[in-house]
Amino acid sequence: ILKSGSHKAIPIIGSIAAGPGKFAVEEFNGTIADIRELQKEEGRFALKIQGDSMKDAGILDGDLAIIQTQVPVSNGQIGAVLIDDEATLKRVYYEKDRVRLQPENEFYSPIYVERDSFNSRVIGRYIALVRKA
């Protein structure tokens, strides 16, 4: 196990809503010691999940979502997305003129974003989860 100061540790840079949007503020909250399956790469970081809109995908309040920047979010994949000044984690579906951000909890409604501006709003693709203790 690597020490948290290691260059291979994944930084935790804030939190992200899995529910209503959460104001996006980048703040350093420590690191996750490198896990063999999650080798640290450029643009990889963790966000603490707040809320339960992704619970049916197994992403729970308090978990850490590992996000990879600078990679596309394909249809049906989960992405971290900015909506105005709020960040949210949702499954992404590309429709004709818009993008649907679909929660994985029947009690939440989808969020729709104009397709033209969507790529500038993608923070990164969800690639893994570290379960809360």
Positions marked active-site: 53, 90
41 C-beta neighbours (distance < 10 Å), count: 13
Task: For residues 68 and 85, give the distance between their C-alpha atoms in angstroms, rounded to a whole number.
Answer: 20
HSE-up (13 A, CA, CB side) for residue 30:
7
- Nearest Cα neighbor of 17 from 82, 66, 73 is 82
